[in-house]
Structure 1
Amino acid sequence: MILDMRLRGYSESTIESYTDCMTRLTKEYMISPLKLRPKQVYDFFIKLKENKASESYLRIFYSAVTLFYKIENKSYMTKSIHLPKRVQRIPAVMNKSEVKLFLSECRSLQERTVFSVLYSSGIRGSELINLKIPDIDFERKTIFISKSKTRKQRYTILSDQAANLLKNYIITYQPKDFLFYGFRDKSSHLSMRWLQASFQRIVKRAGITKKVQVHTFRHSFATHLMETGNNLIYIQKLLGHTFLSSTLLYLHADSSTFLKTISPLESISLKHIGSFGNQQQRSFDFAI
């Protein structure tokens, strides 16, 4: 299955997730998935649901077993599994004050640089840890993304402040291959585990109570660009979204603008409409 996935161009993180799902299924019955019956696969899926597995995990598991049995010419094995309709959730967003507070709580040049680049460019965490020095163009103020979730290459922006931090970071840490290298070996990249753990530590220090994660910086980047009136197509290109519908989701997150819309009732004066039949119209002062 791993070889087939690599030939089909799946990312290493997806391969790892799918492999973990198949390993979990194998351990459940202690036999090869090839020897299972359709009902056993279905029953395990139901067990995952009953054990409150997240919607995202259920979808990953479904995709994993569906691909596995498709490769083995046994697509009938997953015909009885039906996924619930996807609930489109509005992404969590940090406001600019929270972003500033977060960055002020970074305790090293590495932390400040990593998270400033992440927020200022809108790239994914997996894209950031795979950056190499040649991907940074200080003259053009761009970042080249060669390894993305969608397997499409693109450019995104490099802010002046992030560029200055990067220059100091490169002088101080002297990376050789990956821009942000691992602690044990300069030839390997920083791990997602470190990125996620560091993010949560800083969130706690900053006293941010929202339920946020590394990917929240990407949501915040897109939302803040929309708040300042940037072109939706430009934002789509910067994020690397294949479909505009993915970018449109951030319109729902940007409530600060549309909630300031003036109600049409405000354009109608009620002062001179008159009383309610025989009742005398009075002025009320509501305290809510």
Structure 2
Amino acid sequence: MYESYINKIEDVGKLRNLKPKTITLYQKNVSRFLNYIQKNPEELTCEDARNYLLHLQGKGDKASTLNNNNGSLVFFYKRVLGKLWDDNLVPRAINDYAVPEVLSFHDVEKLLNATEDLKYKAIFAIMYSSGLRISEVLHLHYEDISRKNMQIYIRDSKTHTARYALLSKRALDILTEYWFTCGRPTGILFPNKWTGEYLTTSGPRLVFKKSLKIAGLPHSIRMHSLRHSYATHLLEDGVDIRYIQTLLGHRSPKSTEIYLHVSNKALLGVQSPFDKRAGEING
């Protein structure tokens, strides 16, 4: 009944260079909305969107979920249907921001030591030592690793903005061991061993959970906590939050300010905490 409109979301999304995951999310959210409202899309009003979001709120959905659906409906109304959107009638919900879950450096070490598979050990080491998202790590290519400049080139960022990240010497050592042991990949750095294509996040997620259990760490910790830990440890070491914003690839400083729950010391210079703390332990 609504297939043609759902397909239009994909067409418009591609023209606007949206990520495939974003397009799929919009399609799922809008499909649920249309099935709930049961109206001709050409006759939809902002009141319909408001009623649907109130329905989701009544079910107990969190503010982040409401805003997720709000964004999908805004895109559908404005970009696909060409309708006006009333932000006053259908406002975004105020988010409840939780303090990020952060691992101590010793917990990071325990996690890596509990990860036997070199491929996933390298993935987790890069996530922590360079503050990368899991999607960014999985889309790395061999040529993105600069041993000369000790940098990583991020080509596939969530924000569509290319950037450079720190390359930790310790992480490079783990990565080099993986590279020599696991076939010396010269294209995709962490290819699926069966297809040669990019890994999905499901494999690393399963291994991460297994490593948490072996290391005796809380099962509630997520892979993204490695990125949170990187940012928090840099703050603890006195790195200015503006540098951290750049390293993390945040467009808005508000995204980085969530880490200000940690006291900021004097600026010591940008160095990966993966290397700095290792020197403290070995020294």
**Does residue 129 of structure 1 match 2:133?**
no
Equivalent of 1:24, from 32, 42, 55?
Answer: 32
SS across alignment from 2:153: strand
Q: Where does the alignment leave 5 or more consecutive residues of structure 1 unmatched?
A: 258-288
Closer/same/farther in 2, CA of residues 205 and 52 from structure 1, 3 Å limit: farther
Closer/same/farther in 2, CA of residues 9 and 141 from structure 1, 3 Å limit: same
Equivalent of 1:225, from 219, 222, 234?
Answer: 234
Structure 1 residue 228 displacement after superposition: 1.4
Q: Could you say which residue in structure 1 is the equivalent of 2:64?
A: 56
Structure 1 residue 226 displacement after superposition: 1.2
Equivalent of 1:154, from 163, 184, 192?
Answer: 163
Structure 1 residue 256 displacement after superposition: 9.7
RMSD: 2.3
Structure 1 residue 31 displacement after superposition: 5.8
Q: Could you say which residue in structure 2 is the equivalent of 1:190?
A: 199
**Does residue 2 of structure 1 match 2:10?**
yes
Closer/same/farther in 2, CA of residues 203 and 75 from structure 1, 3 Å limit: farther
**Does residue 181 of structure 1 match 2:191?**
yes
Q: Could you say which residue in structure 2 is the equivalent of 1:266?
A: none
Q: How many Å separate the matches in 2 of 1:169 and 1:17?
A: 34
The structure with more radius of gyration: 1
Map 1:1-288 onto structure 2 (within 5 A): 1-29=9-37, 33-71=41-79, 72-76=81-85, 80-174=89-183, 175-186=185-196, 188-209=197-218, 211-252=220-261, 254=262
Q: How many Å separate the matches in 2 of 1:34 and 1:93?
A: 47
- Is the Cα contact below 8 Å between 2:142 and 2:189 reproduced in 1? yes
Partner AA of 2:194 in structure 1: R
Q: How many Å separate the matches in 2 of 1:195 and 1:25?
A: 32
Report sequence identity in percent.
29
Q: How many Å separate the matches in 2 of 1:115 and 1:11?
A: 24
Q: How many Å separate the matches in 1 of 2:68 and 2:28?
A: 10
Partner AA of 1:5 in structure 2: G
- Is the Cα contact below 8 Å between 1:122 and 1:218 reproduced in 2? yes
- Normalising by structure 2, what TM-score? 0.82
- Is the Cα contact below 8 Å between 1:38 and 1:78 reproduced in 2? no
- Normalising by structure 1, what TM-score? 0.80
Partner AA of 1:167 in structure 2: T
Deviations 1:184-234 (A, max 9, x none): 311x11102222232222223322227321111111001111111223332
Structure 1 residue 116 displacement after superposition: 0.6
Deviations 1:43-89 (A, max 9, x none): 32222212222322211110001111001121248763233222233
Quick check: 142-151 or 44-53, which moved more? Answer: 44-53
- Is the Cα contact below 8 Å between 1:42 and 1:80 reproduced in 2? yes
SS across alignment from 2:172: helix
SS across alignment from 2:165: strand
Q: How many Å separate the matches in 2 of 1:99 and 1:74?
A: 49
Partner AA of 2:23 in structure 1: I
Q: How many Å separate the matches in 2 of 1:171 and 1:28?
A: 54
SS across alignment from 1:75: coil
Structure 1 residue 144 displacement after superposition: 0.1
Q: How many Å separate the matches in 2 of 1:210 and 1:30?
A: 41
